[in-house]
Amino acid sequence: MKLRDLDIIVTAPPAPGWGGRYWILLKVTSDSGITGWGEVYAAAVGPDAMSAVIRDVFQRHMEGENPENVELMFRRAYSSGFTQRPDPTVMGAFSGLEIACWDMVGKDRGRPVHALIGGRVNDRIRAYTYLYPTRPSHALPRFWADEDQAAEAALDTVAQGYTAVKFDPAGPYTIRSGHMPPMPDIGRSVAFCRAIRNAVGDRADLLFGTHGQFSTGGAIRMGTAIEPYSCLWYEEPVPPDDMDSLARVAAAVRTPVATGERLTTKREFAQALAAGATILQPALGRSGGIWETRKIAALAEAANAQVAPHLYAGPVEWAANLQLSAAIPNLLMAETIETPFHAALIKGAIHVEDGFIRPSDAPGLGIEVDEVLARAHPFTGTGLHLQMQEAEVDYRGEAIFEGGAPPE
């Protein structure tokens, strides 16, 4: 079996757009007619430019190769252009293509991917979700700054069976370097933690996100302020490539530090572990694909750390995350996004039941992509999948995070 054809579909989820402005789905076909699906999460350039990168990586390093040879193809892409270092754009392209290879090999063998990377150790995968509006009274964008609405959404989410909820009330992410959080942002964050903890009690863990926006001192101030509410993690408190600052924050706060959404390959995740991160959050459409992230999980296991795959993308990456989650002994939980469009795009193949997901035994990723639906929602905007604001930091605390990537 050889890799032969590549098709790229850039699909835009309808409003409210949870999961990003667009998803880059890859359809790879072998010379024997077997199809594999993948998804690219990295999007530092627009979808047209990213599609060109994906095609280059495929043609240069993968076309004509046996899809089983993921390690060989990884080394080619990782070393491309005399680099041999993590490159989020190239490795993002490779990650989506590599996921498609595993889907293809699993279908060829008639086995789920997790059976090919060590077998199942988790019969149920604990799921978590962001807090999204759940009631007609939850109006955007005010929802993102209202602790009472967040507490109501937390109650509704826990009633569905979820045992962990994530929120990030500490202001929008910005292109500015790490900064001190304004006092109103600290106050809002404490109010969110207090209101949600009072609402759910000990029925759910609180996951506090920040998008890597704080200076070292600012991250310590924020982390200290939320400590009384026993959050399960403090996510990406400093810029993702600043491992020295990460180490200082991890040593100074008692809330476990989590990171990894924006990291790629075992090289960067090893550095995060050395800096004191105890929860790794790889997004398989960026981290290097399934096999590379299986190695990352092994590094975490040796460091007594856990893995919580990240998802702010479409359901193909979700399926890949779940296949990995089924096969690793140090899984903490896996992020999920439940929207009608996510479900329809994979024909309802993934179900969250009482806060958990049972891994599929279907071949490959265990999903069937509705290609007609994906093509019926082309992306026509100009924004990136996710993007940061250029405005200066608002020290009056009036600027708020608006849920990732609202439709343009």
Residue 179: give its domain's CATH number.
3.20.20.120
Instruction: Let me know if residue 218 belongs to a domain.
Output: yes
- Per DSSP bridges, beta strands 257-259 and 233-235 are parallel
Q: Is the pLDDT of residue 393 over 90?
A: no
Q: Is the pLDDT of residue 403 over 70?
A: no
Average pLDDT value for the chain: 95
- Entry pTM: 0.97
- Span between the terminal Cα atoms of the chain, in Å: 42
Q: Is the pLDDT of residue 6 over 60?
A: yes
If one compares 401 and 96, the residue with the highest pLDDT of the two is 96
Under 8 Å between Cβ of 312 and 261: yes
Q: Please provide the size of the chain in residues.
A: 408
Handedness of CA 144, 150, 152, 156 (dihedral sign): positive
Q: Which domain holds residue 293?
A: 116-365
- Rounded CA-CA distance 269/199 in Å is 35
245 token code pair: 């600052």
Instruction: Let me know if residue 401 belongs to a domain.
Output: no
* Domain total in the chain: 1
Q: For residue 242, name the pLDDT band (cuts at 50, 70, 90).
A: very high
Instruction: Let me know if residue 407 belongs to a domain.
Output: no
195 token code pair: 């209101």
User: Which pLDDT value is given to residue 402?
Assistant: 73
Q: Is the pLDDT of residue 263 over 60?
A: yes
Under 8 Å between Cβ of 26 and 62: no
Question: For the residues 147-170, what does the mean pLDDT come to?
Answer: 97
Instruction: Let me know if residue 107 belongs to a domain.
Output: no
Give pLDDT tens digits for 283-324: 999 999 999 999 999 999 999 999 999 999 999 999 999 999
Q: Is the pLDDT of residue 174 over 70?
A: yes
User: Which pLDDT value is given to residue 408?
Assistant: 58
Question: For the residues 236-260, what does the mean pLDDT come to?
Answer: 97
Please name the helix (run of DSSP H) or strand (run of DSSP E) that holds residue 130, with its range, or none: strand 125-130
User: Which pLDDT value is given to residue 404?
Assistant: 65
Instruction: Let me know if residue 359 belongs to a domain.
Output: yes
Instruction: Let me know if residue 23 belongs to a domain.
Output: no
**CB-based contacts of 188, cutoff 8 Å, min separation 6:** 145, 147, 169, 170, 397
Q: For residue 390, name the pLDDT band (cuts at 50, 70, 90).
A: confident
**H helix runs in 117-261, sequence order:** 147-159, 183-200, 216-226, 243-252
**Sheet containing 35-40, strands listed edge to edge, beginning at the edge strand earlier in sequence:** 3-11, 23-30, 35-40
Q: For residue 394, name the pLDDT band (cuts at 50, 70, 90).
A: confident
Under 8 Å between Cβ of 114 and 329: no
Instruction: Let me know if residue 193 belongs to a domain.
Output: yes
Residue 398: exposure state from Cβ atoms within 10 A (0-12, 13-18, ≥19): exposed
Largest Cα–Cα distance in the chain?
Answer: 61
Instruction: Let me know if residue 400 belongs to a domain.
Output: no
233 token code pair: 């993690």
Place of tokens 């359809």: 27
Q: Is the pLDDT of residue 407 over 60?
A: no
The DSSP call for residue 145 is G
Place of tokens 């490779």: 94
Under 8 Å between Cβ of 258 and 233: yes
